[in-house]
């Protein structure tokens, strides 16, 4: 028994992974408040309560065997009393930043004023911090999934995922979620 | 490795220590240990940097670099998760402090109480962090040791026992500072403040003296902020009486500042006994503290007043030990010189990327320092992802990005406000760093960030006007000036502003008219009169300039620019010998004042001291390598000496700059108001 967490930086493929888990019949913790849009046409699969995890993590008490998306900066707030299987999404940093920029432009929001070179280092540091932290947590097992590889060789990646989750999952349904057309916003082209 | 001059070095950081307070105490025989130290060694003023903020300055003292390189801009920084702010941390330091350089070289360091040393484990060597002496709880028993304040952890139990809680301070200690302490109510705010500061001071002294005896060290650095904090709380009550202070307050609290200086002397005496004459002792302060007629009419209190306005531009430097010249004066020392000097004393190379220089003038037998490109490159060979691991400013940018993307909640409005304030403080600090080092383009960038946050920020707009003026953007400067005066050109500030614009355009008649109007209105008189004096100098009205300089020096006898004006006025009258004195004062107070070095050279040439003049001109070029006047005069002097090669070199350098000037001047057209 463990809570299945999909983590990573925003725009690293976390929503795609959530969709794959749903296709594999893993129940998801998602409230549907953040609805599908141009940035995530199939949906975000998010839970607003996740944002409050620092002050209220009681919702995790009923989360065993469920999948939930928690972006990397919030992972460090996970309480010790649960077991977690963490799928960490990785994606080439220029693609992550380009995708974030496009999304912020659509939302008419202004993010960091840092140049991409520095912001890349900040996010790389975040990834490194999460990796280090996960290796020191006795209650966490984790696997890293690279978005580019998931798109180019989904069958192999799904095999590894099923092996990691140690559950009989619908291999084909999971692969079918991977739509190369969704591999967008690469290098800023949305 | 170069020759090691010092066996060991004890560096005592006395925040805000000031010769203007110390000298009368020494004369009265009340600081005998410091008197002995300066008789055995060298002493002088230590020039500060702008802005005069202690965490920034002490980080410069420990690194040899300015804030734009070391990354400490004030007392606080954002928490990486965006939930608020926190005191600055050791992980925020962006370059290597001297303790890391020593440890990297196989020498041992110990540091106590220094800014940006918490958490202690992130710093090399033995460390007692700046959070160690912060008390909590009602008494010692209820005061747990703050985690991560001591490294190695094996010292925790011993050093924790040496702490002094405010509750431990009794009347017998207090009456040394306030003789009427017994008659004061227990809730007397000033008494409570004194108790806390005394406990803190004794805690740091306890840790420092313990390490002096029991730790292995080549450099022991101990920082005390007590003098600064005591001055902020008690300097207004120190005689002579200020208008807003009552006789009674002077009677009760008037002796606290001096008593605390005497207490520091006792602490110094203890160290002198512990470390012996074979150890080099260096005392430095980051700035001075106004204690005379220049005390401003605003409160010095750190919470309620304008504390920075009370900081004086010069702190103290005193050093004695093997190889140090006895009973000598140090000129032109800057706090950025401390790390390079310590490195030379300990036989280690100085980083070429440091802003300071080794103070070889303190050595009995001067010797050349060894140099390397950068300690930062040596200790950390490449910029890695880990460099950014704990950077709170960078993490804050990530939080902004994630909020904008909708992945995390907006931080609490109070936290956001606090972070915004601390960020604006960083921008203001960086602006001052760039302005004070003539990097006007960079300063302009940070001023614009401040104005984007608060377009009504008058100080930022004045600074923007100054930058544009310095960058020859006269029209841009005028546009800002028009905004600032807001259609009211007859105010003193408007006269001052437009006077500077006319002056930059060479329209001296109009400038003079403006400055005289500002003077008549009593607007910031020293600043206006300094400008007036410069116009008089340009018009060769030497006597008028000399008269103004005398007045300015009566107001502030530690201002290098005022001495420079006086020197130039005397030089203009061909009173070369007399001019030498104020010009030497100017460069001793501000060693980076290249034009003063050049004028000093002219005064020396007037006395046929050509070799000394050549040295002075080279000093000018060390500060500003493109000083045309220095190159021109050097070309002539070397030609006279028959050194054609050097003469040609400096001649070609003078022409390069001149060509640039001609092209710039041709591109400028004068504009009237």
Q: Is A84 helix (H, G, I), strand (E, B) or coil?
A: strand
pLDDT in tens, A130-189: 998 999 999 999 999 999 999 999 999 999 999 999 988 898 999 999 876 655 444 343
In the predicted structure, residue B541 carries a pLDDT above the cut 70: yes
Which residue of chain B comes nearest to A110, CA vs CA? B404
What does the H/E/C string look like for B358-405? CCHHHECCCCCCCEECCHHHHHCCCCCHHHHCCCHHHHHHHHHHHHHC
Domain of A118? 3-175
- For residue B386, pLDDT beyond 70: no
- Pick from B306, B215, B202: nearest CA to B264: B202
pLDDT of residue B610: 96
Contact B96, B76 (CB under 8 A): no
Does A70 reside within a domain? yes
> How far apart are alpha carbons B51 and B503 in whole angstroms?
26
- Complex-level ipTM: 0.72
The pairing of strands B85-87 and B219-224 is unpaired
Asked if B408 lies within 8 A of A125 by C-beta distance, the reply is: no
Buried b (16+ CB within 10 A) or exposed e, A56-71: ebeebeebeebbbbbb
**Per-residue pLDDT averaged across B596-608, rounded?**
97
Using a CB-CB distance cutoff of 8 angstroms, which residues of chain A are in contact with residue B409?
A: 51-52
Q: Say which DSSP state B326 is in.
A: T
Assign B406 a pLDDT band (cuts: 50, 70, 90).
confident
A116 pLDDT exceeds 60? Answer: yes
- Count of structural domains within chain A: 1
Nearest CA in chain B to A97: B401
Nearest to B227 by CA among B451, B12, B442: B12
pLDDT of B294 reads 84
CB contact under 8 A, A121 and B81: no
> How far apart, in whole angstroms, are the C-alpha atoms of residue B464 and residue B444?
6
pLDDT for position B390: 60
Single out the residue of B206, B198, B219, B211 nearest to residue B61, CA to CA.
B219
Q: What is the DSSP letter of A53?
A: T
**Mean pLDDT within B56-67:** 97
Residue B110 has pLDDT above 80, yes or no: yes
A35 assigned to some structural domain: yes
Residue in B81, B385, B389 closest to A73 by CB: B81
C-alpha B13/C-alpha A180 separation (Å) is 63
| Residue A110 to residue B409, Cβ atoms within 8 A | no
Instruction: Give the pLDDT of residue B664.
Output: 46
Chain A contact set for B388 (CB, 8 A): 121-122, 124-125
Position of tokens 């101990």? B222
Is the model's pLDDT at A102 over the cut of 90? no
- The per-residue pLDDT for A119 is 84
Task: Give the per-residue pLDDT at A126.
Answer: 87
Question: Which CATH number goes with the domain that contains A169?
Answer: 3.40.50.300
- In percent, how much of chain A has pLDDT > 90? 54
User: How many CB atoms neighbour CB B611 within 10 A?
Assistant: 10
pLDDT average, residue stretch B311-327:
95
Number of A to B CB contacts under 8 A, please give it: 74
Tokens representing residue B233 in the block: 């709380």
Task: Read off the pLDDT band of B659 (50, 70, 90).
Answer: low
Structure tokens at B567: 């020197």
- CA-to-CA distance for A67 and A86, rounded, in angstroms? 10
C-beta atoms of B408 and A74 within 8 A: yes
Interatomic CA distance for residues B482 and B195, integer angstroms:
52
| Rg over CA atoms, chain B | 26
pLDDT over 60 at B384, yes or no: no
What mean pLDDT value characterizes chain B? Answer: 91
Residue A11, token pair as written in the block: 């725009």
- Using DSSP's 3-state secondary structure scheme, residue B667 falls into helix
Q: Looking at A69-83, A116-130, B87-101, B153-167, which range is the least confident one?
A: A116-130
* Gyration radius (Cα) of chain A, Å: 16
Of A186 and B161, the one with more pLDDT:
B161
- Read off the tokens for B562: 């005022």
Question: Is A23 domain-assigned?
Answer: yes
Please answer whether residues B297 and B267 qualify as being in contact, where contact means their C-beta atoms are separated by less than 8 angstroms: no
What are the beta bridge partners of residue B112?
B128, B222
CA distance to partner chain B, nearest, from residue A110 (Å):
6
Of A156-170, B20-34, B507-521, the range with the highest mean pLDDT is B20-34
| DSSP label at residue B349 | P
Mean per-residue pLDDT, B584-591: 91
CA B10 – CA B63 distance, rounded (Å) = 16
For residue B397, which residues of chain A lie inside 8 Å, CB to CB? 112-114, 118-119, 122
H-type helices in chain A, by residue range? Answer: 14-23, 93-106, 116-136, 147-152, 154-165, 171-176
Residue A122 lies in a domain: yes
- From the CB of residue B91, how many other CB atoms can be counted at a distance below 10 Å? 16
For the cut 60, the answer to whether the pLDDT of residue B277 exceeds it is yes
Residue B388 has pLDDT above 60, yes or no: no
According to the model, what pLDDT value does residue B289 have? 95
Q: A125 and B388: CB-CB below 8 Å?
A: yes
CB A19 within 8 A of CB A43: yes
Question: Between chains, do B394 and A11 touch, taking CB under 8 Å as contact?
Answer: no
pLDDT in tens, B141-159: 889 999 999 999 999 999 9
Mean pLDDT score of chain A: 86
Interface test with B, best of A53, A122, A131 (most B CBs within 10 A): A122
Say if CB A44 and CB A34 are below 8 A apart.
Answer: yes
Q: For residue B569, give both structure tokens.
A: 């006025």
Q: Spell out which residues of chain A touch residue B398, defining contact as CB-CB under 8 Å.
A: 73, 112, 119, 122-123, 126
The residue behind tokens 């070369």 is B576
State whether A112 and B398 contact (CB < 8 Å): yes
Mutate to test the interface with B, among A8, A35, A73, A93 (most CBs of B within 10 A): A73
Q: Where are the beta strands (DSSP E) in B493-633?
A: none
Q: Which comes out higher in pLDDT, residue B51 or B121?
A: B51
User: Does the pLDDT at position A46 exceed 90?
Assistant: no
**For range A59-83, the mean pLDDT:** 93
Phi and psi angles of residue B78, each rounded to the nearest 5 degrees, phi first? -70, 150
pLDDT score for B392: 77
Q: Residue A1 — pLDDT band, cuts 50, 70, 90?
A: confident
Q: State residue A121's pLDDT score.
A: 84
DSSP B393-451: HHHHHHHHHHHHTTSSPPPPHHHHHHHHHHHHHHHHHHHHHHHHTT-HHHHHHHHHHHH
Q: Examine residue A37 and say whether the peptide bond preceding it is cis (omega within 30 degrees of 0).
A: no
- Cα-Cα-Cα-Cα torsion B358, B360, B365, B366, nearest 10 degrees, comes to 90
In-domain check, residue A152 = yes
Residues of B in contact with A112 (CB under 8 A): 397-398, 400-401, 404
In whole angstroms, what is the distance from residue B143 CA to residue A52 CA?
Answer: 33
**H-only helix segments in B162-218:** 171-174, 189-214
Q: For the stretch B163-200, what's the b/e string if a residue is b when 16 or more beta carbons lie within 10 angstroms of its beta carbon?
A: bbbbbbbeeebbebbbeebeeeeeebebbebbbbbbbb
Instruction: Quote the minimal CA–CA distance from B464 to chain A in Å.
Output: 21
In a domain, A123, yes or no: yes
Please provide the distance, in angstroms rounded to a whole number, between the alpha carbons at the two ends of chain B.
Answer: 61
Give yes or no for a contact between B234 and B256, defined as CB atoms under 8 angstroms apart: yes
Question: Dihedral of CA A119/A125/A131/A134: which sign?
Answer: negative
Report the residue from B81, B394, B406 with minimal CB separation from A122.
Answer: B394
Q: Is the confidence at residue B62, as pLDDT, over 90?
A: yes
Report phi then psi at B372, rounded to 5. Answer: -130, 165
Residue A42 has pLDDT above 80, yes or no: no
Distance CA A127, CA A8 (A): 7
Burial (CB count <10 Å: 0-12, 13-18, 19+), residue A72: buried
**Mutation for testing the B interface, residue in A111, A118, A120 having most B CBs under 10 Å:** A111
Q: How far is A51 from chain B (nearest CA, A)?
A: 5
**Pairwise CB contact (< 8 Å): B400 & A111:** yes
Q: Is A115 exposed, middle or buried (0-12, 13-18, 19+ CB in 10 A)?
A: exposed
pLDDT higher than threshold 60 for residue B669: no
Helix (H) or strand (E) holding B545: helix B542-555
Chain A's closest residue to B395, CA to CA, is A122
pLDDT of residue B382: 41
Question: Band of the pLDDT at B387, cuts 50, 70, 90?
Answer: very low
Mark out chain A residues that contact chain B at CB-CB < 8 A.
10-11, 34, 51-52, 54, 71, 73-74, 100, 103-104, 107, 109-114, 118-119, 121-126, 128-129
**In chain A, what residues touch B403 (CB-CB under 8 Å)?**
111
Rounded CA-CA distance B276/B266 in Å is 15
Contact check, Cβ <8 Å, A104/B404: yes
Residue A186 in domain: no
Q: What CA–CA distances, in Å, run from B487 to A135, B491, B494, B672?
A: 65, 10, 10, 16
In-domain check, residue A57: yes
- Asked if B388's CB is within 8 angstroms of A113's CB, the reply is no
């Amino acid at each position: 028994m463990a809570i299945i967490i999909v983590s990573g930086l925003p725009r690293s493929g976390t929503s795609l992974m959530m969709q794959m888990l749903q296709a594999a019949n893993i129940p998801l913790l998602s409230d549907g408040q953040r609805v599908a849009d141009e940035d995530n046409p199939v949906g975000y699969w998010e839970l607003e309560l996740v944002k409050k995890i620092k002050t209220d993590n009681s919702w995790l008490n009923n989360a065993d065997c469920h999948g939930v998306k928690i972006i990397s900066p919030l992972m460090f707030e996970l309480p010790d009393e649960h077991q977690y299987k963490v799928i960490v999404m990785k994606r080439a940093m220029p693609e992550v930043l380009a995708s974030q920029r496009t999304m912020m432009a659509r939302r008419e929001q202004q993010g960091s004023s840092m140049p991409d070179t520095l912001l890349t280092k900040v996010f790389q540091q975040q990834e490194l911090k999460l990796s280090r932290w996960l290796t020191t947590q006795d209650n966490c097992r984790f696997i890293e999934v690279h978005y580019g590889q998931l798109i180019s060789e989904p069958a192999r990646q799904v095999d590894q995922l099923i092996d990691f989750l140690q559950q009989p999952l619908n291999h084909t349904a999971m692969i079918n979620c991977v739509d190369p057309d969704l591999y967008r916003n690469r290098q800023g082209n949305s | 490795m170069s020759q090691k001059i010092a066996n060991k070095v004890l560096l005592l950081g006395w925040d805000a220590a000031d010769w203007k307070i110390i000298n009368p105490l020494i004369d009265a025989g009340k600081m005998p240990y410091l008197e002995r130290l300066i008789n055995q060694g060298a002493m002088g003023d230590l020039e500060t940097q702008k802005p005069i903020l202690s965490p920034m300055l002490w980080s410069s003292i420990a690194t040899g670099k300015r804030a734009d390189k070391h990354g400490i801009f004030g007392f606080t920084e954002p928490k990486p998760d965006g939930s608020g702010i926190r005191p600055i941390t050791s992980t925020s330091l962006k370059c290597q402090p001297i303790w890391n350089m020593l440890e990297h070289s196989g020498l041992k360091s110990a540091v106590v109480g220094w800014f940006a040393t918490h958490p202690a484990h992130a710093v090399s060597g033995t460390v007692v962090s700046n959070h160690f002496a912060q008390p909590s709880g009602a008494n010692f028993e209820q005061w747990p040791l703050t985690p991560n304040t001591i490294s190695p952890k094996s010292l925790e139990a011993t050093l924790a026992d040496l702490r002094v809680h405010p509750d431990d301070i009794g009347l017998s200690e207090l009456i040394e500072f306030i003789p009427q302490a017994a008659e004061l109510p227990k809730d007397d705010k000033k008494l409570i403040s004194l108790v806390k500061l005394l406990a803190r001071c004794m805690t740091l002294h306890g840790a420092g003296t313990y390490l002096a005896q029991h730790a292995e060290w080549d450099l022991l650095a101990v920082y005390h902020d007590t003098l600064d904090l005591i001055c902020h709380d008690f300097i207004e009550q120190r005689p002579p009486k200020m208008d807003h202070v009552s006789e009674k307050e002077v009677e009760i609290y008037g002796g606290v500042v001096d008593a605390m200086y005497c207490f520091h002397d006792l602490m110094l005496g203890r160290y002198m006994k512990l470390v012996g004459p074979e150890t080099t002792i260096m005392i430095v302060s980051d700035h001075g503290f106004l204690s005379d007629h220049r005390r401003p009419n605003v409160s010095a209190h750190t919470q309620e007043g304008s504390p920075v306005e009370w900081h004086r531009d010069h702190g103290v430097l005193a050093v004695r030990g093997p190889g140090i010249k006895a009973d000598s004066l140090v000129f032109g020392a800057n706090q950025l010189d401390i790390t390079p000097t310590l490195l030379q004393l300990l036989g280690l190379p100085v980083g070429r990327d440091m802003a300071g220089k080794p103070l070889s003038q303190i050595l009995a037998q001067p010797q050349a320092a060894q140099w390397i490109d950068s300690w930062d490159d040596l200790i950390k060979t490449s910029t890695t992802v880990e460099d950014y691991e704990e950077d709170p400013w960078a993490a804050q940018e990530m939080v902004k990005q994630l909020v904008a993307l909708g992945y995390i909640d907006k931080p609490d409005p109070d936290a956001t406000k606090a972070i915004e304030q601390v960020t604006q403080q960083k921008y203001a600090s960086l602006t001052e760093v760039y302005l004070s080092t003539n990097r006007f383009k960079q300063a302009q960038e940070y001023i614009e960030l401040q104005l984007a946050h608060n377009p009504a920020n008058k100080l930022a707009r004045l600074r923007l006007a100054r930058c544009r003026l310095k960058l020859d953007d006269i029209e841009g400067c005028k546009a800002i000036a028009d905004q600032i005066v807001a259609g009211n050109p007859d105010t003193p500030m408007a006269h001052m502003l437009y006077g500077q614009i006319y002056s930059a355009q060479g329209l001296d008649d109009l400038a003079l008219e403006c400055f005289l109007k500002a003077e008549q209105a009593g607007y910031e008189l020293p600043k206006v009169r300094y400008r007036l004096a410069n116009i008089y100098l340009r018009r060769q009205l030497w006597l008028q300039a000399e008269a103004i300089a005398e007045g300015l020096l009566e107001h502030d006898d530690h201002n290098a620019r005022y001495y420079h004006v006086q020197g130039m006025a005397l030089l203009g009258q061909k009173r070369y010998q007399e001019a030498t004195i104020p010009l030497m004062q100017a460069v001793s107070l501000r060693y980076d004042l290249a034009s003063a070095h050049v004028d000093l050279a002219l005064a020396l040439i007037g006395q046929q001291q050509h070799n000394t003049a050549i040295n002075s001109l080279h000093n000018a070029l060390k500060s500003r390598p493109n000083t045309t006047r220095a190159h021109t005069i050097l070309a002539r002097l070397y030609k006279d000496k028959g050194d054609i090669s050097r003469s040609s070199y400096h001649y070609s350098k003078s022409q390069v700059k001149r060509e640039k000037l001609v092209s710039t001047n041709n591109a400028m057209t004068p504009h009237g108001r």
